[in-house]
Amino acid sequence: MGSLFGLFRIQSYFPLVQESDVKESSHNCSPIRRNREEEEEEELERTKKVYSMYSRKPAEEVKQTFIDLKVDYVILEDSWCTRRSKPGCGMAEIWDIEDEKNRNVETPLCTRLRKNPSPQFSRVFRNEVYDVLKVSKW
């Protein structure tokens, strides 16, 4: 992938391994053939798209990304937005390296969405830890 996000391998591949060992329900019961590397690459790309809500991208662009992914709701966790283990290690700062076009936008999208998710999203639930936002489909 050649991306910083390639370094963040989320441990979500167990279902892919399981699925590759399952037999297809067909007349000949042939094993499912899957390319695990390709699936991992697709999973990483999807994860990167989901994490775009922690970037400085425009809300409309991120909303369209979620629509393309067929996402109805997103969970926006405040600590992912504000946490920095050390300078340069916050999600928005990581995105600044990845997304040069938007690095000069002052406020990360996650901060803007916490304050006011409209019109691209609507808040369905909120507590001190996270917001649940519904993706506007219009």
What global pTM score does this model have? 0.72
The answer to the question of residue 51 being in a domain is yes
Residues near 47 by beta carbon (within 8 Å), at least 6 away in sequence: 5, 8, 10, 12
Say if 29 falls within a structural domain. no
Q: For residue range 2-22, what is the model confidence (pLDDT) as tens digits?
A: 454 444 444 344 444 333 333
Length of the chain: 138
- If one counts the domains in the chain, the total is 1
Burial (CB < 10 A; 0-12, 13-18, 19+), residue 115, is: exposed
pLDDT tens digits, 21-67: 333 333 444 444 556 777 788 888 999 999 999 999 999 999 999 99
Confirm whether 72 is domain-assigned.
Answer: yes
Mean pLDDT for the chain overall:
80
Domain span holding position 89: 13-20+34-135
Q: Specify the higher pLDDT residue, 3 or 115.
A: 115
